[in-house]
Structure 1
Amino acid sequence: MKCPFCGHNDTQVVETRLSEEGDTVRRRRKCGQCEKRFTTYERAEVTMPVVVKKDGRRVEYDRHKLQASFALALRKRSVSTEQVDGAISRIEEKLRTLGEREIASNQLGELVMRELKKLDKVAYIRFASVYRSFQDIDEFTALVDEVRK
């Protein structure tokens, strides 16, 4: 593995851990030249379904986009990176078990909302208010009332 700091090719694995879900290996590495440490993640490469947008465009599934959505919804909320990674892993597992070659973007959005609702109610409401394009305060109030129940 190439060092992300100095580009040296000689890095050593210092520690290896399996994720709680058992689908990811986390490795702490140390560069042989600059001696800085960094983390890598290893997971099996499985073909994810193509995401079909509302306008009919088809785009490749992108984990980074999902991470960015979670980060935006969870901004300034006390949810750990491990919890977010777990939520994203559960979404990806669901996508793989569906066995479909394509998934509608609204289905993916619903999976995200389900996970956010478990993690943080405020983040769930933030995401839902944008995702569902609320047009008036009544829709927003209905969602808040649903979460309070």
Structure 2
Amino acid sequence: MCAKCGFSCPSSDKATFKSHIQTHNHKQEPQCPECGLCFTVLNAVKRHLFALHKIKNIDEYLAENGMAEEDEEEEEEFDSVLGEMLPGMRPLPLATRHQQAPLVNTDSRISKEQADDDLDSLECNVCYRSFDSEANLKTHMRTHGMAFIRSKRYKPI
């Protein structure tokens, strides 16, 4: 199933799925042609393809699937996030466990609206998938590579 829009087709029809993935704007938010996961930079897709899908000739594979090579600007941005901050960004303080608000209300008299709000807080802010626990959400966030790191460490000014 496409993580960006929810499109699905039989798992035996990989050609249709790959064709669908190409309809999305890869420059803004590259997507894995195999499973549809969304990433913020093409380098994250490349690592994902190698690690998860065991694809060896990644550049050739991406060209065959209609995904253009990243340009120097995107590569520089990726390197900047790993090293120095980009212009217009400032670091956010890292939250400690005792500072974080609990995700589940221990009061048994919560309203349906409050329960729905708690569930919304367990939603991936990259692909909008919902989870039943904070641990499952955190594990899932690792699949997004730099999108997870950026969402936790940097905030535009």
Please report the TM-score for the alignment, with normalisation by the length of structure 1: 0.21
Structure of greater relative contact order (alpha carbons < 8 Å, 6+ residues apart): 2
Please report the TM-score for the alignment, with normalisation by the length of structure 2: 0.21
